[in-house]
Structure 1
């Protein structure tokens, strides 16, 4: 009579294993292209593992206080995972990097010749690691060390990677279950054999050894590629220096210059340039810090004080390092169209970064009060620089986001900075209606670029307004991804990571759950619409082929102003794109200075 094999399964467990395997495979295949949903599954698996661990601890020794404490801790952690799910998922890349570091330490121990860890504790010292095992452990340890860095630098990409790896692991587990069901035999412990003393580690041979080696080499190659891509991208990003940090008094008169330093970037011919740190106020009137770059002719002014040109830049990002004054191109023609002409005319130029760019604090992206106040206080700061010889007479010009800031500065000038004489306001390709822009983005086909742009608005709005909450507007697994998007500058190479991550989410549930038809987000966006009612002649200019700001926004604003008998000159430039309309050679620049000349002569240009 033949003894039965304890690993042989009866028909019912075989069928159960096969069906479960099919279900797990299907789940893995579905989740692999749905990273957000997969991250929720990762959290669910983590909670389940914690609960199972607590149950095992209690069953292992009900009378032992230590086991009860361990079980209690595991259950508390599981509860935290449930009730603070977005925060836990946000922390997964950091936890992953920590796990990689711990894994590297353990693998390095094997690689340098330590004994392999016993499987079940029957051999207290374990068995010596073989040469092949040591080599594979060394490769894997190096892969872990290299992978930890990119996981911390690119938390959004790391989140997607965690989701993909988890999904693939489900597929592998499902295949193993199906094989078990077909063969009718429970798998033996991975990498072990039955010995005379107990279970000990066995060196894999043949195909097993080859597969393990290929896996270790593949992991190392992938980690090298990730690190090699990370280093140049990080090195290319601008960094904020100590100039933008301020530890002095928290309150100062708006427009007060707190610090100046030479600007070392490209400067127009015949001009001197400085970086300026100055006091301003945020949208609620609280003290804030802002930085700017200023330029003025080196020649002495011929008519006493100089007219001021306040320029407001377009979208560069909402992180501190996205401040134009941080880089070397803040005073080029690409950054400020017509700046060389302005210097030749004897004008002094100030270009604010707005609060939160360069400086610490919340960035008022498309928050009109904050943008407008920073603009007007920038003019005040320029006037406080003796060598600039800046007058109270100011032009206020801006493009895109800067067009929105320009309109708001014009609207606020009479009340906020009554000592300034606003000569004229020029809003170019202006994002005048944030609500209309948000409606266009959220109702159109989702795209990686739309996901990035939405984060630039949503994160600052959540900081500025207590009633706009990320919990209510972002997928529970997407908080960290959205915050990572908002941490990068749109004009720098790392934004490519955001675009790729956004593309990976295209088949999943929507990253954003924003209702712009009603509710707090709708109200705050509507609150920041610029009405264009400014105390000076107004110039509106935009390209008809603008791919960022619909030309309808300018047409709607112009129609409203013309109906109200406001002094406005409107220009549309056939075939010009969002950036092309302010590029060198664009007719807009000639029209803009011709309009300024007419205003200077006392005319009130309008073409309604």
Structure 2
């Protein structure tokens, strides 16, 4: 085991060098005196700023990495190969992951009492009913030097899983500091991208640790003056498994979080508050799922628009095209899909494969990607098939097909669909196809493509246009309809 420096100064130098985000490179790169105002300034507000953000990320040099800036279990050569072999991971992300290992453990991992996440013996009768709430914090860095001044509340509420069982789930409500005590006119209901499947990966926990990579999107919405509700999804943080990319549970948990937020004491949200559903990648999947069931599941919500980015509408197609750099996501998927399909992985994986799944299931996204980068998964199965081939097995097929989106009810509110033409995880044609399908069915769709490299670059590149679309729809203005060109 390596001996690392343990002083706070060393923690600061490593963590602030890496920034406030994980593998995604949504690195805000604050100085040690930065605060919420500087955080707002660091958010790309124009296409040019977003393009520069991506270019700066891609320019990072792996040769600057040293052995003590690499996480446990990853060699320096492996870390450099991960940086040089893909635009998805940069040297700052490697340093960030190592910095997290240096931080002292706190009660409940995020400094909160573990028993908050324990479901009560008796749940409320109605979905979306508030169970409890507690004051929380939103940090923009993992050493908790930069605390956002938004009022932050974590809350628990009731929802229902795909089997019809009542479940407790958690979410976070953030209110801009200058809007505290006021009626919340506009609320962004944020569905997060892939976090991992372990309880420690729940956004409500990571916001309090300064490790939530989507903090940049949350900060962007707060800077625009909107309250933000960010859901944890069923089984992230609370008991029971998190069914990764399960459209039913994602959609219900997002809508029920919006319902419960109206009951949060001091939150200022009520039935008249205008809501926008927003998400990218898994979050885009959840947002789309929520739109498809909104009229049936939560017709009372005042949803005025939605933004869905890089939506993996067809999981069967996505998993067969996963790159070696993204193997960690495939391992997370295999673990969760096996749980959902009731498949015994010991029948398919060898001992090393089972150990890989067990280890990865306890990791959040950055660690899962780093520890599995460029792995040859054919060496982890009993019959020599790859993990992608296994997930394509008929035993998993029904689970994957059940998550297919785009064939449900058409949204009756303006929708922004955004996607990079250079996305290396979710095929661009999926986003374009979803937009075209909704257009054919009469929806009001704004389609925004970009040419930012990689899945992550597409996320950064879309941020300015998402905020412009959000502002227009909250103001009651119709966005430019793109259906004529789809």
TM-score (norm 2): 0.67
Aligned partners of 1:565 and 1:500: how far apart in 2?
Answer: 43
- 2:238 is aligned with 1:359: yes
Aligned partners of 1:507 and 1:524: how far apart in 2?
Answer: 21
Q: How does 1:29-428 map to 2 (within 5 A)?
A: 232=101, 239=109, 241-266=114-139, 271-300=150-179, 304-328=183-207, 335-392=214-271, 393-428=274-309
- 2:456 is aligned with 1:456: no
Pair 356,380 (structure 1): closer, same or farther in 2 beyond 3 Å: same
Query: After superposition, what is the alpha-carbon deviation per residue over 1:144-196, rounded to whole angstroms, capped at 9, x for unaligned?
Result: xxxxxxxxx99xxxxxxxxxxxxxxxxxxxxxxxxxxxxxxxxxxxxxxxxxx
Query: After superposition, what is the alpha-carbon deviation per residue over 1:196-230, rounded to whole angstroms, capped at 9, x for unaligned?
Result: xxxxxxxxxxxxxxxxxxxxxxxxxxxxxxxxx9x
Q: How many residues align?
A: 374
Superposition deviation, residue 276 in structure 1:
1.4
Aligned partners of 2:448 and 2:386: how far apart in 1?
Answer: 37
Pair 504,562 (structure 1): closer, same or farther in 2 beyond 3 Å: closer
Q: Secondary structure at the match of 1:572?
A: strand
Superposition deviation, residue 295 in structure 1:
0.3
Superposition deviation, residue 269 in structure 1:
5.5
Any gaps of 5 or more consecutive residues in structure 1?
Answer: 1-152, 155-228
Task: Tell me if structure 1 keeps the 8 A contact 2:255–2:290.
Answer: yes
Q: Secondary structure at the match of 2:195?
A: coil
Task: Tell me if structure 1 keeps the 8 A contact 2:319–2:388.
Answer: no
Query: After superposition, what is the alpha-carbon deviation per residue over 1:368-402, rounded to whole angstroms, capped at 9, x for unaligned?
Result: 00011110111112111131111333100001111
| 1:435 corresponds to | 316
Aligned partners of 1:303 and 1:481: how far apart in 2?
Answer: 49
Superposition deviation, residue 534 in structure 1:
2.1
Query: After superposition, what is the alpha-carbon deviation per residue over 1:476-502, rounded to whole angstroms, capped at 9, x for unaligned?
Result: 76334323222211224x754444865
Q: Secondary structure at the match of 1:254?
A: coil
Aligned partners of 1:255 and 1:534: how far apart in 2?
Answer: 21
Task: Tell me if structure 2 keeps the 8 A contact 1:337–1:582.
Answer: no
Tell which structure's C-alpha radius of gyration is larger. 1
Moved more, 284-293 or 339-348: 339-348
Superposition deviation, residue 590 in structure 1:
2.7
Q: Secondary structure at the match of 1:386?
A: coil
Moved more, 330-339 or 253-262: 330-339
Select the residue among 441, 444, 449 that pairs with 1:564. Answer: 441
Q: Secondary structure at the match of 2:332?
A: helix
- 2:472 is aligned with 1:593: no
Pair 299,504 (structure 1): closer, same or farther in 2 beyond 3 Å: same
- 2:357 is aligned with 1:478: no
Superposition deviation, residue 573 in structure 1:
0.8
Superposition deviation, residue 351 in structure 1:
0.5
Task: Tell me if structure 1 keeps the 8 A contact 2:321–2:425.
Answer: no
Query: After superposition, what is the alpha-carbon deviation per residue over 1:334-393, rounded to whole angstroms, capped at 9, x for unaligned?
Result: 514454453355422110111221111121211000011110111112111131111333
Aligned partners of 2:435 and 2:105: how far apart in 1?
Answer: 41
Aligned partners of 1:282 and 1:471: how far apart in 2?
Answer: 26
Task: Tell me if structure 1 keeps the 8 A contact 2:172–2:231.
Answer: yes
Moved more, 416-425 or 234-243: 234-243
Using CA pairs under 8 Å that are at least 6 residues apart, name the structure with larger relative contact order, 1 or 2. 2
Aligned partners of 1:284 and 1:507: how far apart in 2?
Answer: 30
Task: Tell me if structure 2 keeps the 8 A contact 1:398–1:426.
Answer: yes
- 2:401 is aligned with 1:522: no
Q: Secondary structure at the match of 1:534?
A: coil
Task: Tell me if structure 1 keeps the 8 A contact 2:132–2:156.
Answer: yes
Q: Secondary structure at the match of 1:354?
A: coil
| 1:194 corresponds to | none
Task: Tell me if structure 2 keeps the 8 A contact 1:271–1:296.
Answer: yes
Superposition deviation, residue 536 in structure 1:
1.4
| 1:205 corresponds to | none
Any gaps of 5 or more consecutive residues in structure 2?
Answer: 1-71, 74-97, 141-146
Select the structure that is richer in helix. Answer: 1
| 1:581 corresponds to | 458
Task: Tell me if structure 2 keeps the 8 A contact 1:310–1:350.
Answer: yes
Pair 253,473 (structure 1): closer, same or farther in 2 beyond 3 Å: farther
Aligned partners of 1:504 and 1:436: how far apart in 2?
Answer: 19
Aligned partners of 2:318 and 2:388: how far apart in 1?
Answer: 16
Q: Secondary structure at the match of 1:578?
A: helix
Superposition deviation, residue 328 in structure 1:
4.0
